[in-house]
Every structure is written in structure tokens, then in C-alpha cells.
Amino acid sequence: MIALAAGVAEGTIFRVFPDKESLLDAVVEKAFDPEPTERALGDIDPSPPFERRLTDAVEILQRRVADIWRLAATIGGHKVSTDRRTPSDLVALIALFATAGDGINRDPVIAARMLRGLTLAFSHPTLVPDGPLPAAEIVSLLLDGIRSTPRKPEC
């Protein structure tokens, strides 16, 4: 079935991969490779306003979440090694936050991690039954929060 879907002969696949598990391991490894996402984030046009660039970044991250979720749903019970799955910081996303200067009150590394977390939480199909939150709303939630007016500090 895999060879048929790939449009190649079965022997071609098993000359490269000794068994189905090895093939699935390679597919999972490729899916979790952060380089394509890093490259896409680095290619975001730097000329629009900061909020627009963050929205573009969230759209890229949402595509990654959707792709990985589709893969996980497709391969089902295939055991994924967790020792390789420690998420790395996305340097291009951190760099994007660094361009905000005094516009944010968090370190760019922390801000990038917060955005990734919000994006995952509001884009993962099993966590958001009505579908992913639009990228612009995730950015607004990160930058503006949900309070209608700022609270006065308690003394």
C-alpha cells in the first residue's frame, strides 16, 4: 500500500528500508524536523508591522501542527521515540520577537515559547473542537490578553 501510494515498486522501498517500522521511523523523523518550519519563519517579509509578521508566523506553525496531526492519525499506533522529540527553540521566531524591541515585556525566547504553546493549544484538533483559532486571534491573545481593562496592582 505504501509503495502504491508513493508510485514506486515495493522493492524500491525495501532496498532503502529493511522493514515497515524503519520506514515509519524515517517518516516521523522527517515530519518532526524543524528545519522547513525554521526556513519558512525566516522567510517572513520583515516590512509589515510586527503584529502582521506574528500572524504569518502563527499560520506557519498552524500548518506544522496540522501536518503532524494528520501524520499521527494516519500511522496510528506506531511507537514514536520520545528521546528525539524535545522541541527546539525556533531561532527565526525568537529573532522575530527580538525586532519588537520595547514593544513586548518578555524576553524574545520566552515570548516565542509562549506563542508556540498558544498556537499548539488553539490549533490542535483534539483540543479545539470547533476548529483552530484564527492566527490573528492567537496573536491578539498573546499580545493583548483577554482582559477588557488593565487591573490596578494590588497594594
pLDDT at 123: 93
Q: Whole-prediction pTM value?
A: 0.81
Domain ranges of the chain: 1-32, 33-144
Kindly state the cell numbers that stand for 25. 521511523
Q: Tell me what pLDDT residue 84 has.
A: 53
33-144, CATH topology level: Tetracycline Repressor; domain 2 (1.10.357)
**Mind listing the pLDDT tens digit of every residue in the chain (155 residues)?**
777 877 888 888 888 888 878 888 888 888 888 999 999 999 999 999 999 999 999 999 999 999 988 888 888 766 665 555 556 788 999 999 999 988 899 999 999 999 999 999 999 888 888 889 999 999 999 999 988 776 676 66
Please report the pLDDT score of residue 151 as a whole number.
67
Q: What is the pLDDT of residue 95?
A: 95
Integer Cα distance of 127 and 133 in angstroms = 11
SS3 labels along the chain: CHHHHHCCCHHHHHHHCCCHHHHHHHHHHHHHCCHHHHHHHHCCCCCCCHHHHHHHHHHHHHHHHHHHHHHHHHHCCCCCCHHHCCCCCCHHHHHHHHCCHHHCCCCHHHHHHHHHHHHHHCCCCCCCCCCCCCHHHHHHHHHHCCCCCCCCCCC
Residue type, 67: D
Distances (CA, A) of 90 to 99, 129, 148: 15, 27, 31
